[in-house]
Structure 1
Amino acid sequence: MATVLAIPATRAATFAAMSAALTGFKPDFIAPPVDPNQLHAHLLHHIDELAGTTSVDQLLAQFTVLQAHGQTSQQIADVMLGISPSSHAPAAQLAQSIVKLWYLGSWYPPGSTSAFDGNVVSSQAYVGGLAWRAMQAHAMGDSPFKFGDWTSAPPSLAEFGADVPEHKS
């Protein structure tokens, strides 16, 4: 992913903020201030190619409107994912595909219900998948931890980037 992607910074930032709302992860985890891999821009580039820039821009516009109306991240996710109110609209299906991509590193076409329709978009997307963070784990063969780290308790979900309240002991 060393290739510089020609995605406007404001569009990438809006995509990162929308992704944070949809996935339940902190915005600064989705798009860290210092991020040589630019995973959010990389995924946006793939989504543009796979779903079409027009569809993605419509979804980003929907997010911007919901955010401007003061909706919480959970409320935004509920509407955009077609949870409340219930919807099977193309925009909701695209949002669901984006969540799957963030968590699994695989693109499932909008509306797909098959576990076998997914295609890994890149090794970086797979390794950076949020499912690993949600499980407090890492992809096989890729770990930011040192040897013997299993002897101590795993970091909290909040330390893994999940947007959850800190648990105080």
Structure 2
Amino acid sequence: MKITASERLDWFEKLSVVLTGFSLSELLGTGLTKTYLDTIDQHLGEDLIDTLLDSFRKINIQNEEDLTAEESGNIQELVESKNNESITKLVILLWYTGQWYGDKSYIVSSQSYLEGLVWKAIGAHPMGGKQPGYGTWGFPPLTFSS
């Protein structure tokens, strides 16, 4: 797949929307898309992620934030394929925790810890950062409908 660096980042962002379940604006709001793609390249090499991005591109999704049943099935097949299963898990873990879990585990940056999607997913704030503010203990906790 010979595409520009900008197109490559764009496809990584679209894939990340599908893998995480968060909107593109939420992912871009973290400021970490390029950092995460660089981290993956550093540990796995560009060829491996480019193969995954090319396979994802071929699915031809119309709207990453509102998949059809057929698109969901194709994504599931892509994610569960023997060649892609481990890399898609690493991408998901990277977005949710801000930590690389490959050959050696480490938190990518202080920003990646603070912006981990896990905090939004559970309606909490990262310990030691992004405190909810004075007096917020007086309000009932957030609830999520099932």
Identify whether the pair has TM-score above 0.5, normalized to the shorter chain: yes
Instruction: State the percentage of identical aligned residues.
Output: 28
Long gaps (5+) in structure 2? none
Q: TM-score, normalised by structure 1?
A: 0.68
Structure-1 separation of matches of 2:16 and 2:79 = 11
The CA deviation string for residues 79-104 of structure 1, in whole angstroms up to 9 with x for no partner, is 2321xxxx4x2322101111011111
Within 5 Å, give how 1:88-99 maps onto structure 2. 89-99=82-92
Match of 2:126 in 1: 139
Within 5 Å, give how 1:24-63 maps onto structure 2. 24-32=21-29, 38-63=31-56
Match of 2:117 in 1: 130
Within 5 Å, give how 1:59-138 maps onto structure 2. 59-68=52-61, 72=67, 74-75=72-73, 77-82=75-80, 87=81, 89-109=82-102, 118-138=105-125
TM-superposed deviation, 1:68: 4.3
The CA deviation string for residues 43-98 of structure 1, in whole angstroms up to 9 with x for no partner, is 1111110111111111111111113488827445422321xxxx4x2322101111
- Give the aligned CA root-mean-square deviation in angstroms: 2.7
AA of the residue aligned to 1:80:
L
Q: Aligned pair in 2 of structure 1 residues 119, 8: CA closer, same or farther (>3 Å)?
A: same
Query: Does the 8 A contact of 1:80 with 1:95 survive in 2?
Result: no
SS at match of 1:138: coil
SS at match of 1:141: coil
SS at match of 2:132: coil
Long gaps (5+) in structure 1? 1-6, 111-116, 158-166
Q: Is structure 2 residue 5 aligned with structure 1 residue 8?
A: yes
More helix by share: 2
Query: Does the 8 A contact of 2:114 with 2:130 survive in 1?
Result: no
Q: TM-score, normalised by structure 2?
A: 0.78
Structure-1 separation of matches of 2:112 and 2:9 = 16
TM-superposed deviation, 1:131: 0.9
The CA deviation string for residues 14-46 of structure 1, in whole angstroms up to 9 with x for no partner, is 1111101001111211124xxxx6211111111
